[in-house]
């Protein structure tokens, strides 16, 4: 091995270790909503059902399969180990891809450095979801295609690129079904390159056979689950006009680390234009497939890193500046991609006075309760407290009342008047609740606090509230059924939009506080 090769491997190892260090701390973060959903929804299912159940877009098959077995250890780092390892694999595969594609060791090192510090990839490497796996497999698929060149094959393992290609392709599809949007343009570029070489007399029968086998698997997979995946489009945003499309794509590109200066990389080197065309395909395809959130396009980051890496390599004097721009953008994105510290949120919430009702957004209650077993008991104590006169409502993370409607979906109810506060690092709004002693004289918002009462009485009160208008439940995930005194008890915090004041039950004003407490809240126009 030459000194230059040893230096390349040494620097590559340093970059890999730095990437591992940046990803390690996130393994102990609180579980996010989708991670908990996968844990509770799929760990009890058979392996075959996990790999073939695409009824919900929340199922990332390989991720769910890992969670099925890792859940036994009940350790956050172990639950996310597959994402962490695939995140490091993306750095290696990206460097391999860049090295073989451009035959440029300096460009490969800069590519690895860009991947190591990418905020979206760091975020994905510390979450038990399929995005890190998908990005790794898509990158490995591209690297395997390039490694099929005769001069790049290993003497003892000549068929290794074909084996890796099949494994990476199937792994990408089983990570997320959207992977076809990223694999197709890479395959098309490879076939075009192969066609040009065959005109010069070169043939690659084994490579074509591997692509054929993968193509057959893909056709069978999408043929069987086409209708299910079409149904998942309801979760995406349809493209309505050119302006909306361009603004959405610009937001996605910036979130993934592709600012305008990256276009310089396309101009600096001819090969970058091919990478840019490959990366553009999934974005243009959104016109038909609908637009997803930025994390859906995470497999494009290695392509952006390669373009940036090649630009840094070709502009030797300005290489550190180009990488510095990438790093600066990555740091600025940190808060955008960083998950919520649910441990800290609850610690600050439990320190509030017991007479204050801390309200979280509808979906936030799910990870809050799962990460903090005491969260439900804390909310129960606040609900059971009898407070004469006004009470405080602290909306954490939003200026809106946000609850669960009767269909079980999250919905913004109204923006209310209050005083801005902080719950630790989380923005909050303190709202004063005024007791409602008489029937409302006009349409408006009423909050009904029902402390633990017998289940039959709770249902009766709920039915009476429904007769006056529309209801939503606050902190739904922090409420659980109680069994005490030989009976079943239930409680809840209900928001009622009064639409018909004349139907207001006459017994409500005389209701004792141990049964129900009614408050009026001002909504902003």
pLDDT of 200: 45
In this prediction, residue 58 carries a pLDDT of 73
Per the DSSP assignment, residues forming a β-bridge with 212 are none
Per-residue pLDDT averaged across 177-182, rounded? 90
Tell me how far apart the alpha carbons of residues 204 and 171 are, in angstroms, rounded to a whole number. Answer: 23
- Comparing 39-53, 202-216, 504-518, the range with the smallest average pLDDT is 202-216
199 pLDDT tier (thresholds 50, 70, 90): very low
Average pLDDT, the chain: 87
Q: Tens digit of pLDDT for each residue in 98-147? A: 998 888 899 999 999 999 999 999 999 999 999 999 999 999 999 998 88
For the purposes of burial, counting CB atoms within 10 Å of the CB of 81, is it exposed (0-12), middle (13-18) or buried (19 or more)? middle
Predicted local confidence at residue 202, as pLDDT: 54
Q: Would you state the pLDDT for residue 231?
A: 65
pLDDT of 28 > 50? The answer is: yes
**pLDDT at residue 195 above 70?**
no
Q: Is the pLDDT of residue 154 over 70?
A: no
Closest CA to 363 of 412, 314, 324: 412
pLDDT tens readout for residues 470-499:
999 999 999 988 988 778 999 999 999 998
Residue 267, pLDDT score: 61
Q: What pLDDT is recorded for position 237?
A: 80
The model's pLDDT over 388-425, given as tens digits with 9 standing for 90+, comes to 778 899 999 888 888 999 888 889 998 888 899 998 88
Which stretches of 343-425 are assigned E, i.e. beta strand? Answer: 356-360, 391-396, 400-404, 410-415, 419-423
Contact between residue 476 and residue 365 where contact means Cβ atoms under 8 Å apart: yes
Q: How far apart are CA 214 and CA 225, in angstroms?
A: 17
| Residue 270: per-residue pLDDT | 67
Token representation of residue 89: 């694999």
pLDDT at 127: 94
Q: What is the mean pLDDT of residues 189-211?
A: 68
What confidence score (pLDDT) does residue 131 get? 96
Residue 316 has what pLDDT?
76
Percent of the chain with pLDDT over 70: 93
- Give 362-397 pLDDT, tens digit per residue: 889 999 999 998 999 999 999 988 777 788 999 998
Which whole number is the average pLDDT over 154-158? 70
The residue with greater pLDDT, 404 or 261, is: 404
Q: Determine phi and psi for 488, rounding to 5 degrees.
A: -95, 130
Residue 201 pLDDT greater than 50, yes or no = no
pLDDT above 60 (res 260): no
3-class DSSP state of 240: coil
Is residue 5 over pLDDT 50?
yes
């Amino acid at each position: 091995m030459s000194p230059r090769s040893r230096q390349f491997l040494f620097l590559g190892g340093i970059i890999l270790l730095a990437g591992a260090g940046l990803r390690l701390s996130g393994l102990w973060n609180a579980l996010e909503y989708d991670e908990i959903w996968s844990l509770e929804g799929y760990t009890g299912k058979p392996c075959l059902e996990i790999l073939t159940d695409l009824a919900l877009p929340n199922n990332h098959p390989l991720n769910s399969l890992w969670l099925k077995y890792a859940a036994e250890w009940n350790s956050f780092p172990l639950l996310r180990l597959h994402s962490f390892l695939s995140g490091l694999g993306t750095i290696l595969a990206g460097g391999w891809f860049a090295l073989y594609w451009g035959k440029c060791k300096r460009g490969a090192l800069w590519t690895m450095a860009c991947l190591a510090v990418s905020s979206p990839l760091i975020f994905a490497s510390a979450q038990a979801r399929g995005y890190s796996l998908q990005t790794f497999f898509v990158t490995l698929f591209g690297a395997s295609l390039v490694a099929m060149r005769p001069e790049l094959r290993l003497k003892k393992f000549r068929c290794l690129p074909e084996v890796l290609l099949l494994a990476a392709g199937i792994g990408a599809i089983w990570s997320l079904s959207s992977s076809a949007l990223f694999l197709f343009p890479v395959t098309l570029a490879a076939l075009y390159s192969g066609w040009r070489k065959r005109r010069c007399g070169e043939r690659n029968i084994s490579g074509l056979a591997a692509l054929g086998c993968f193509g057959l698997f893909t056709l069978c997979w999408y043929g069987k689950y086409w209708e299910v995946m079409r149904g998942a489009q309801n979760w995406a945003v349809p493209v309505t006009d050119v302006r909306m499309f361009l603004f959405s794509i610009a937001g996605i590109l910036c979130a993934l680390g592709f600012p305008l200066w990256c276009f310089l990389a396309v101009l600096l080197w001819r090969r970058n234009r091919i990478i840019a065309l490959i990366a553009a395909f999934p974005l243009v395809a959104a016109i038909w497939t609908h637009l997803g959130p930025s994390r859906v396009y995470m497999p494009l980051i290695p392509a952006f890193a390669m373009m940036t890496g090649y630009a840094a390599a070709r502009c030797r004097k300005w290489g550190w500046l180009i990488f510095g721009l990438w790093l600066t953008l990555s740091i600025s994105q940190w808060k955008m991609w960083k998950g919520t510290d649910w441990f800290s949120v609850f610690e600050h919430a439990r320190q509030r006075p017991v007479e204050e009702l801390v309200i979280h957004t509808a979906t936030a209650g799910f990870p809050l309760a799962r990460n903090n077993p005491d969260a439900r008991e804390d909310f129960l104590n606040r609900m059971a407290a009898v407070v004469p006169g006004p009470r405080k409502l602290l909306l954490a993370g939003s200026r809106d009342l946000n609850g669960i409607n009767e269909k079980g979906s999250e919905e913004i109810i109204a923006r209310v008047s209050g005083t801005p506060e902080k719950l630790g690092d989380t923005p909050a709004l303190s709202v004063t609740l005024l007791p409602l002693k008489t029937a409302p004289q006009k349409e408006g918002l009423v909050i009904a606090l029902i402390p633990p009462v017998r289940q039959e009485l709770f249902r009766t009160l709920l039915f009476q509230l429904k007769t006056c208008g529309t209801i939503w439940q606050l902190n739904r995930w922090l409420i659980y059924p109680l069994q005490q005194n030989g009976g079943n008890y239930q409680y809840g915090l209900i928001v009622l939009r009064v639409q018909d004041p004349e139907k207001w039950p006459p017994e409500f004003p005389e209701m004792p506080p141990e049964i129900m407490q009614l408050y009026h809240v001002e909504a902003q126009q």
